[in-house]
Amino acid sequence: MSTSSKARMTGPFSDESGIGFETWKNEKNWRAHGQPTCCRAAHSRLSLRPYHLFHLPSTTIDVQTTSDDCTLRRYLEQDLSPIMSAATSTKGAGAGAGASTRAAYRLPTLSAEANKNVLSLLRLIIIFLIAGAAVSSRLFAVVRHESIIHEFDPWFNFRATKVLTTDGFYRFWNWFDATAWYPLGRAAGGTAYPGLMVTSGAIYNLFHSLNIPVDIRNICVLLAPAFSGLTAWATYMFTAAMKDDAAGLLAAAFIGIAPGYISRSVAGSYDNEAIAIFLLMMTFYLWIKALKDGSALWGVATALFYFYMVAAWGGYVFITNMIPLHVLVLILMGRFSSRLYVSYSSFYAVGTLASMQVPFVGFQPVRTSEHMAALGVFGLLQLVAFVELVRSHVPSKQFKLLLVGFVVLVATLAFGALVALTYAGYVAPWTGRFYSLWDTAYAKKHIPIIASVSEHQPPAWPAFFFDLEMLIFLFPVGVFLLFKELRDEHVFVIIYAVMASYFAGVMVRLMLTLTPVVCVSAAIAMSTLLQTYLDPKEPTPLEGRADADDDSVAKSTRSTTRKAAEVASTPKENTVAGSDSEISRPASPVFGASSFSSSKFGVFGLDSRFFVTIYSLLLLLVFVLHCTFVTSTAYSSPSVVLASRNADGSQHIIDDFREAYYWLRQNTASDAKVMSWWDYGYQISGMADRPTLVDNNTWNNTHIATVGKAMCSSEEKSYPILRKHDVDYVLIIFGGLLGFSGDDINKYLWMIRIAQGVWPDEVREADYFTPRGEYKIDDGASKTMKDSLLYKMSYYRFNDLFGGRPGMDRVRQTQGPTKSPELEYLDEAFTSENWIVRIYEVKKPDALGRDLPGVKGFEGGKRRKRAFALPATKGK
């Protein structure tokens, strides 16, 4: 070890002392294990892991003790120092005796400082370029169309952000939205995750304090791209903690453009996921850091980011269960350490208390089953730590066994108590939304409103290839490589990979949480491959066979490859002969090039290096092309405006939604209640600024079922419902003329099912099918279907467009009804240009007390009867 310590003092880059490759190996070994090899025996006595099971030295305790700056330095030493020593060595490559000096190609030699500077400059440039790519690939929708909020949910977030910026934080915190869920209202401040709004509000205030008067809409639109850059950085940090900077940069590049993440974070997608993935990766990174150092400070930092995550997204439950699961698995693997105790305890104590400050979360962390895993692991950790303390004071072997039995007993008792409390009702069981992840048939049977959302369906295989392209192939390879080394933090990624894969397999929407771990894992696989094949070091022939190999070394590389196969068949000789090198070899398998470099295995010659490198590069380039293509074609449409192409290639914009919403906004009373299916609730209140009955926050199933019942009942039955809820206008979406498939007739069955769940006697799904069980809309439709309000509203005057002949429904690909339906309780108020949005006005009761069909008959088809002194405030 004398040379090793000497090398440590003089530094790995100095060649004056004549340090050869062996010294470098010692040096690297020392670096990797955090201390000299001779100390390892004494050190391992302190750790409690079963070595015979995992064949792992105590590296998990000591690895990565250096700061990030030193990580870079170590990386640099690992990869460049042997080459440089090879380049400057007096023995040279041609001699063949100094086998360590052989290299496939030469690298330019730089001083240590220059190397370090160049590397950090490159790293900085790469990170900024990745952030730039991440931002710019999300701007397709803004560049093509306009800077506008997309989809449905973001419209509520946008409206809430406007409340925050105009009325101030405290008004937002206590905001009661009287216009939503009309008769009931919604305490929006306490039923929303405020993290997103507060973030953009803070950015808004920052810009305005700097006299940069940016509209809040632009901040909301561009928030997701901005945070995707931060996500790339956080993923870089996370992956760098797993392997090295090279893998980190690859992971950052992957997640910067992976369509699985872009799909939820394009410009204009102002949803919780926009900042949540950044917070997820940041929390995980800080957790890994806290665990590595055993630092309470970083544990508290983890807790603070966890708090931010809780405030931002309901998916925080994923973190709440991932970190305890990691801790539990580490304990079960026999890897309990004081660092585990310190990091997890500080995280849990602060994080739980902090998460309870979010009004929407409230007492859930102590009352619901989703959070009980974290509490249970916290308790278990206290027990294990206490027993470890007692064990250090007590020598008896039987007594140790007793202590372990004590832990198992108390843990079992606590688990039993938890089960008992859950059954007794003190702890709330899993909510349906989470329960449906385990029992995948649960939602469809019991809660149709969860099953009705398209992104709650399980994905098909093509969805994985579409969203992740080649990363999905590299993903298992990366997990395998992590298994090979299996440090404490690697266990985390493995658990994350397994859990996220399962959840993504159950629900399309959770592809979002899978994407980061796929990027991390694929980056580890790809960087291992590249490092193995870019490493210029040639494999070392055996010492004992040096004379036999001398000739073949001088020969062409192809013959050397064949020789290597022969040599590989006699591994025993090597281990016996080279006892010196046996000591200095890293005892644990290390990633990539370094694990092969010291042995006879490796890559010979330039041609194999060249082919593999070019092929990997090609894969990466195709990945970029695929991501750009998918982002451009699939994920960058604003859904508020529908774009189509004319025959000459020019763009044709269908803007019916905004046309209708603006009609509502400008031509109706400001307190006119609009009834629509819940999908459009947020958009109506956001764009039309009118009170709605139900919206996308589906907190009251009965109220939604009421709307569903009104839609699927006959006019006579619906009218009292509409009157009781003060409905002035009914808004429906009809895509039959244009072929817009997401219209209300296609969602009709879900309305019926949800209404049937509440009123099984009055609404029956079977009534809406033909006797043969078909769902038809033409003349063969069932009588209930033809009488229902939504059907009548959809096809009202549809035939007029076709000159009185039955119209062609381009979504259902059948003819519409031959005889146009007649409406007696409603008036058509507005129909948009392409008939996508149709708005009907609910008639007031007759002033003479007659029923409305009678009035209509009396008028003989002429609807105008405004001579009466009716409150004709609805300017049409």
Partner 1 sequence: ASTSSSASAQSPLSTLYSSYVDSTPKKLKVIDAFLVFLMLSGIIQFVYCALITNFPFNSFIAGFASTVGQFVLAASLRIQANPENGQTFPKVSPERIELIG
CA dist 203 and 224 (Å) reads: 13
Are 252 and 600 in contact by the 8 Å Cβ rule? The answer is no
| Burial zone of 860 (CB within 10 Å; 0-12 exposed, 13-18 middle, 19+ buried) | exposed
385 and 341 in contact (C-beta within 8 Å)? yes
Closest approach of partner 1 to the CB of residue 410, in Å: 8
Write down the least CB distance from residue 42 to partner 1, Å: 10
What is the distance between the alpha carbons of residues 336 and 76, in angstroms, rounded to a whole number?
A: 32
Instruction: Pick between residue 293 and residue 543 the one whose CB is nearest to partner 1.
Output: 293
In sign, the C-alpha dihedral spanning 259, 260, 266, 268 is positive
Report in angstroms the alpha-carbon separations of 213 from 103, 207, 217, 718.
59, 7, 12, 49
Nearer to partner 1, 44 or 88 (CB): 44
Residue (368 or 452) nearer to partner 1, CB: 368
Side chain identity, residue 30: W
Smallest gap, in angstroms, from Cβ of residue 290 to partner 1?
11
Per DSSP, 647 falls in state T
Nearer to partner 1, 30 or 719 (CB): 30
Nearer to partner 1, 61 or 664 (CB): 61
Q: How far is the CB of 384 from partner 1 (least distance, A)?
A: 12
Instruction: Classify the C-alpha dihedral 790-794-795-796 as positive or negative.
Output: positive
Taking the complex as a whole, how short is the minimal distance between the CB of residue 64 and partner 1, in angstroms? Answer: 9
Which residues of this protein are in contact with partner 1, per CB under 8 A? Answer: 34, 43, 46, 61-62, 65, 293-296, 337-339, 341-342, 345-346, 348-350, 352-353, 356, 363, 366, 382, 385-387, 390, 392-396, 398-399, 402-403, 406
Residue 315 pairs in a beta bridge with: none
Task: Kindly tell me which of 399 and 610 has the beta carbon lying closer to partner 1.
Answer: 399
**Residue 10, Cβ density class (10 Å: 0-12 exposed, 13-18 middle, ≥19 buried):** middle
Q: What is the nearest approach in angstroms of partner 1 to the Cβ of residue 632?
A: 46
Q: Are 701 and 758 in contact (CB under 8 A)?
A: yes
CB closer to partner 1 out of 214 and 349: 349
Nearest-approach distance from CB 57 to partner 1, in angstroms: 14
* Dist. CA 257–CA 55, nearest whole Å: 38
182-188, Cβ contacts within 8 angstroms, sequence gap of 24 or more: 182/673, 182/691, 182/692, 182/693, 182/725, 182/726, 183/693, 183/725, 183/726, 184/700, 184/703, 186/697, 186/699, 188/160
SS3 assignment, position 600: coil
For 652, the token pair is 């044709």
CA–CA dist 138, 267 (Å, integer): 6
Full DSSP string of 96-109: SSSGGG-BSS----
- Write the CB contacts of 592 (distance below 8 Å, at least 6 apart in sequence): 527, 528, 531, 532, 535
Q: Can you name the residues that pair with 673 across neighbouring β-strands? A: 727
Q: How far is the CB of 330 from partner 1 (least distance, A)?
A: 14
Of 341 and 682, which has the nearer Cβ to partner 1?
341
Distance CA 630, CA 703 (A): 38
Quick one: 294 or 544, whose CB is closer to partner 1?
294
Which residue lies nearer to partner 1 by CB, 318 or 348? 348
Shorter beta-carbon distance to partner 1: residue 230 or 296: 296
| Closer CB to partner 1, 364 or 676, in the complex | 364
Q: How far is the CB of 405 from partner 1 (least distance, A)?
A: 8
Considering the complex, what minimum distance in angstroms separates the CB of residue 319 from partner 1? 19
Q: How many residues does the chain have?
A: 876
Of 143 and 390, CB closest to partner 1: 390
Place of tokens 């893998």: 247
Task: Report the distance separating Cα 283 and Cα 286, nearest Å.
Answer: 5
Q: Tell the smallest beta-carbon distance from residue 381 to partner 1 (Å).
A: 9
Measured from the CB of residue 315, what is the shortest distance to partner 1 in angstroms?
24
Instruction: Note whether 89 and 98 are within 8 A (CB).
Output: yes
Q: Quote the CA–CA distance of 504 and 501 in Å, as a whole number.
A: 5
Measured N-to-C along each axis, helices 471-485 and 461-468 cross at an angle, to the nearest 10 degrees, of 80
Q: Which is nearer to partner 1, 342 or 451 (CB)?
A: 342
CB of 91 to partner 1, least distance (A): 37
Residues 6+ apart with CB under 8 A from 148: 217, 221, 268, 638, 640, 641
